[in-house]
Amino acid sequence: MKKQKNIIKMGEEFQENKKMQQEFYNEFKTLRECYGKWSDAKENVYNYYKNLLNNNCDSVEKYGIRSFNCNVIVLHAIVEKEGKKLYLVITPSHNWYNEI
């Protein structure tokens, strides 16, 4: 039997990943810090998740870009939801969380 995956819904699904380590990514960069000129698509993704977290979490402690290149940005955040402090990673293909 397959193990049940722990999922939190915040407008989008976030799957638990206990192996994810937050301490290597303490910088939460803005679009301006990462790109001299960014695309509308990157700005839309950045703002979409910023608004999603602000509307679905009790509080957003930190939010920003974890890694980036010319094609992709990976976002991350530290939020509080239902009394739990969570570290989130948002990639183009999957959204992860880990309780901290």
Mean per-residue pLDDT of the chain: 90
CB within 8 Å of 94: residues ≥ 6 apart: 15
Quote the pTM value: 0.88
The percent of residues in the chain predicted with pLDDT above 90, rounded, is: 74
Q: Where are the domains of the chain?
A: 31-99
CA 2 to chain centre: 26
